[in-house]
């Protein structure tokens, strides 16, 4: 096992923290992707990658921030940018994909998908649910 | 001691992320429908971004983080474009 | 000259942080920032108003806590796999929230929490369709979204 040369000055607590965040982040990403392969329908599968984009990315970004801040090699601008970028973009892509899938399923008349009810009926439904 | 744990953790993280990429590629090959493939491509992008970041921690080179930022942006634009394309409802499978 | 001074300033700072602080990059970054703010001005985005912005950290705290909790929940469902049965399904939640920015924030919160996905907002009936991975009780999820997130967002934005 080759040790990491540029990390020789890293104190033990920081090395352990970095290792912990790396293992948690990468492990959750893997679990999410396993779920992505195993879950039966598309609407269930859309939940699986969010593990990788929430805690997976968070863990790796945290590990990298601790590593380079403790070593003080460089400012951690990239990590912060990547974290913000993934947090903002993932919901957008997932929502667009989900809406596209709903649209296609409705166009095909898939019975498992809630249909696009006329707005008037839904208003009454909404009011009824609120009154309950 | 703690440095040995750290280097093993990096190896573990890299193996996990490569396996995750392989599984995403499997889902992309299996489908069954176009939206599954697009979602798999997006997952593949995110996983490769994370893998490049682990490489960056391991080597200490900034270039890996820049590469992972670029991959993240390209992946976002590609997925949005593909989802928009599916939205039109003119895709014939 | 500069319709969005805060945006331009943060772009220059970001450019310098990424490329290193030199005179050449300062000039280049300023040019990019000026053109970007002109581009932003031509899009004419609606200015979001946040009268109670000081409540934002509370929202961020709640969301971070929920993300950690639902990560553990979803991961345990996925690991247990076929052994433990779970039922997923669609729920419709009526919303009182109307501010577009607040709705966007709510959509980001719901989608980035594993286990719930925001599918479609119907602006005529003011309802949202959400898919839940582990749907035990529909009323419980509706109460969670309305009470935990929507009430706080309405307080922040309206």
Tell me, what DSSP letter sits at residue C147?
I
Are C66 and C86 part of one and the same domain?
Answer: yes
| Helix (H), strand (E) counts: chain A | 6, 0
Average pLDDT, chain B: 86
Q: C47: helix, coil or strand?
A: coil
**Are residues B17 and A36, on separate chains, in Cβ contact within 8 Å?**
no
More confident residue, C151 or C50: C151
Residue B92 located in a structural domain:
no
**pLDDT, tens digit (0-9, with 9 covering 90-100), for C122-143:** 778 788 888 888 777 778 888 8
Which of B1, B27, B50 lies nearest to residue A37, judging by beta carbons?
A: B27
Range of the domain at B54: 2-87
Tell whether B44 lies on the interface with A, counting CB pairs under 8 A. Answer: no
Q: How many domains does chain B have?
A: 1
Residues of chain A with pLDDT under 50: 1, 118-132
Reported confidence tier of residue B22, pLDDT bands at 50, 70, 90: very high
Tokens, residue B31 = 């489908």
Q: Which residues of C touch A129 (CB under 8 A)?
A: 92, 94, 142
Q: Which residue of B has its CA nearest to A79?
A: B65
More confident residue, B2 or B57: B57
Which of A32, A95, A113 lies nearest to residue C111, judging by beta carbons?
A: A95
**pLDDT, tens digit (0-9, with 9 covering 90-100), for C16-54:** 887 777 888 888 888 888 888 888 888 777 666 777 777
pLDDT at C44: 73
Report how far residue C58's alpha carbon sits from residue C67's, in angstroms, rounded to the nearest whole number. Answer: 14
Residue C128 located in a structural domain:
yes
Look up the CATH number of the domain holding residue B9. 1.10.287
Are C132 and C98 part of one and the same domain?
Answer: yes
pLDDT at B20: 92
B contact chains, 3+ CB pairs < 8 A: A
B11 forms beta bridges with: none
Range of the domain at C10: 5-43
A39 within 8 A of C115, measured Cβ to Cβ? no
Are C64 and C98 part of one and the same domain?
Answer: yes
Q: How many domains does chain C have?
A: 2
pLDDT at A1: 44
Residue C48 located in a structural domain:
no
Tokens 């959750």 locate to: A28
| Pure H helices in C81-124 | 100-112
**pLDDT, tens digit (0-9, with 9 covering 90-100), for B35-73:** 889 999 999 999 999 999 998 888 888 888 889 989 988
Domain ranges of chain A: 10-131
pLDDT at B17: 92
């Amino acid at each position: 096992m080759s040790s990491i040369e540029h990390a020789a000055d890293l104190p033990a607590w920081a090395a352990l923290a970095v290792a912990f965040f790396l293992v948690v982040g990468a492990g959750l990403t893997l679990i999410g992707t396993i779920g992505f392969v195993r879950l039966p329908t598309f609407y269930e599968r859309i939940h699986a990658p969010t593990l990788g984009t929430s805690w997976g990315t968070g863990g790796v970004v945290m590990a990298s921030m601790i590593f380079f801040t403790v070593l003080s090699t460089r400012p951690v601008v990239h990590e912060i940018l990547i974290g913000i970028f993934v947090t903002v973009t993932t919901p957008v892509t997932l929502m667009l994909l989900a809406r596209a899938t709903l649209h296609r399923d409705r166009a095909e008349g898939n019975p498992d998908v809630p249909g696009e009810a006329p707005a008037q009926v839904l208003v009454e439904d909404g009011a009824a649910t609120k009154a309950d | 001691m703690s440095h040995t744990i750290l280097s093993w953790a990096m190896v573990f993280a890299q193996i996990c992320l490569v396996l995750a990429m392989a599984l995403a590629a499997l889902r992309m090959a299996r489908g069954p429908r176009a939206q599954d493939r697009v979602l798999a491509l997006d997952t593949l992008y995110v996983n490769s971004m994370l893998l490049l970041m682990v490489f960056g921690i391991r080597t200490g080179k900034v270039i890996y983080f820049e590469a992972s930022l670029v991959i993240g942006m390209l992946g976002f634009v590609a997925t949005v474009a593909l989802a928009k394309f599916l939205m039109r409802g003119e895709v014939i499978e | 000259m500069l319709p969005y001074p805060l945006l331009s300033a943060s772009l220059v700072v970001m450019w310098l942080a990424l490329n290193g602080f030199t005179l050449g990059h300062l000039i280049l970054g300023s040019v990019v920032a000026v053109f970007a703010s002109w581009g932003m001005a031509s899009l004419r985005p609606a200015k979001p108003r946040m009268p109670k912005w000081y409540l934002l950290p509370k929202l961020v705290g709640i969301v971070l806590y929920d993300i950690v909790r639902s990560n553990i929940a979803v991961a345990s469902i996925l690991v247990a796999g076929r052994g433990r049965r779970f039922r997923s399904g669609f729920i419709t939640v009526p919303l009182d929230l109307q501010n577009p920015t607040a709705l966007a924030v709510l959509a980001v919160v719901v989608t980035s929490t594993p286990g719930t996905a925001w599918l479609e907002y119907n602006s005529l009936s003011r309802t949202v369709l959400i898919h839940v991975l582990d749907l035990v009780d529909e009323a419980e999820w509706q109460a969670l979204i309305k009470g935990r997130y929507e009430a706080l967002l309405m307080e922040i934005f309206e």
